[in-house]
Amino acid sequence: MGVPIFITAVTNCCWIGADNCVILGILGTDLSWISKVQVNHPAVLRRAQQVQARRTVKKEWQAAWLLKAVTFIDLTTLSGDDTSSNVQRLCYKAKYPIREDLLKALNMHDKDITTAAVCVYPARVCDAVRALKAAGCNIPVASVATGFPAGQTHLKTRLEEIRLAVEDGATEIDVVINRSLVLTGQWEALYDEIRQFRKACGEAHLKTILATGELGSLTNVYKASMIAMMAGSDFIKTSTGKETVNATFPVAIVMLRAIRDFFWKTGNKIGFKPAGGIRSAKDALAWLSLIKEELGDEWLKPELFRIGASTLLSDIERQIYHHVTGRYAAYHDLPMS
């Protein structure tokens, strides 16, 4: 691929595969290895340009990939005016993401296509759990937590927020890190904080949001990714969707290379979730292509790849409607989430 993306990577570190694959020495005070990591910024940008310039698939292949993309979506509502009724509508849309007649036309009506999860604020977890139970499905409920989106509340409060969301029925917790720990190079403190998040989650999956648009550099993105995985995260996630800059391909490439490094060193597969600004079917296809190229088909399943989105599903359904009917849908043709 030409010039390496990492000038100094973690190849000389000593790893062990125990207790969430912690790096040997991380429990002590020596984290000098992480200060040596540098990301080759121009090489990352060149790789990102290659991804964005690639032509997308067409016709029935596009329809197939878009249906697959639906199964990766964490269908999300994180608005200040969320109510139990709009959460209920969201859950119904999660179970029936594509109109049934369109699925029948594609001979996919019996494949039980749903979104990967429903993502809400902690106060709306109970609403989502009830709505999904009433709909007779077992789609996971994900809850943001830890002072989302800024992560600037007291640690005790952030931990309690996780516990309450889990008690209410959330099986996935999307936490935000304290960005100041990254910006000031306090890697041990960041590790300790995420370990406490991990413990508070219990059996729930931990998805750690790095808020990459606020980390200052791609090198910090790599370092934070590595610390989050070492501390026991099941997923690393790009953004809250509330930052000025959210999911971008350069950031994703760095995070995916970190996931690959972690897998090579430990044998553990960590999931990846881009979020924020992914709104079109074309965007979704580009993200799936990137995952396939960087990590392989093994990561193209909901257990290891998610897309955080609130409006993406609508455009995917419009594109599938066009594929089936040959025309674009009017506003009233497709159900609202």
What are the chain's domains?
A: 36-333 (3.20.20.70)
Statement: residue 5 has pLDDT above 80: no
From 65-74, 243-252, 255-264, 323-332, the region with the lowest mean pLDDT: 323-332
Please write the tens of the pLDDT for every residue from 47-70: 999 888 877 788 999 999 999 999
Is 273 noted as a catalytic residue in this protein?
yes
Q: What pLDDT is stored for residue 33 in this prediction?
A: 78
Is 207 noted as a catalytic residue in this protein?
no
Statement: residue 193 has pLDDT above 70: yes
Q: Are 310 and 277 in contact (CB under 8 A)?
A: no
From 49-53, 231-235, 271-275, 292-296, the region with the lowest mean pLDDT: 49-53
**What is the C-alpha separation between 146 and 200, in angstroms, rounded?**
11
Statement: residue 98 has pLDDT above 80: yes
Q: Quick one: tokens of 114?
A: 């749903």
H or E, element range at 155? helix 155-167
Q: How confident is the model at residue 102 (pLDDT cuts 50, 70, 90)?
A: very high
Q: How confident is the model at residue 110 (pLDDT cuts 50, 70, 90)?
A: very high
Q: What pLDDT is stored for residue 22 in this prediction?
A: 37
Q: Are 288 and 329 in contact (CB under 8 A)?
A: no
Going by C-alpha positions, the residue among 122, 151, 306, 169 that lies closest to residue 242 is 151
Q: How confident is the model at residue 31 (pLDDT cuts 50, 70, 90)?
A: low
User: Is the Cα dihedral 294, 296, 299, 305 positive or negative?
Assistant: positive
Q: Give the three-state DSSP class for 136.
A: coil
% the chain with pLDDT above 70: 90
Q: How confident is the model at residue 9 (pLDDT cuts 50, 70, 90)?
A: very low
**Whole-Å CA distances, 162 to 155, 165, 216:** 11, 5, 27
Q: Give the three-state DSSP class for 226.
A: helix
**What is the C-alpha separation between 333 and 337, in angstroms, rounded?**
13
- Count CA within 13 A, CB hemisphere, residue 110: 1
**What is the C-alpha separation between 308 and 80, in angstroms, rounded?**
18
**What is the C-alpha separation between 157 and 148, in angstroms, rounded?**
12
Amino acid in position 330: A
More reliable by pLDDT, 278 or 36: 278
Length of the chain: 337
Q: Give the three-state DSSP class for 144.
A: strand
Please write the tens of the pLDDT for every residue from 121-135: 999 999 999 999 999
Q: Quick one: tokens of 174?
A: 């999307």
Q: What is the pTM of this model?
A: 0.91
* 191-215: average pLDDT: 97
Q: What pLDDT is stored for residue 324 in this prediction?
A: 96
DSSP single-letter state for residue 208: E
Q: How confident is the model at residue 83 (pLDDT cuts 50, 70, 90)?
A: very high
Q: What pLDDT is stored for residue 197 in this prediction?
A: 98
Residue the block writes with tokens 């989105």: 309
**What is the C-alpha separation between 36 and 297, in angstroms, rounded?**
31
Q: Are 269 and 296 in contact (CB under 8 A)?
A: no
Statement: residue 16 has pLDDT above 60: no
Identify the active-site residue in 95, 223, 265, 273. Answer: 273
Going by C-alpha positions, the residue among 55, 56, 76, 52 that lies closest to residue 66 is 56
* 194-200: average pLDDT: 98
Statement: residue 190 has pLDDT above 60: yes
More reliable by pLDDT, 176 or 57: 176
Q: What pLDDT is stored for residue 334 in this prediction?
A: 85
Identify the active-site residue in 127, 174, 234, 261. Answer: 174
Identify the active-site residue in 237, 261, 265, 283. Answer: 237
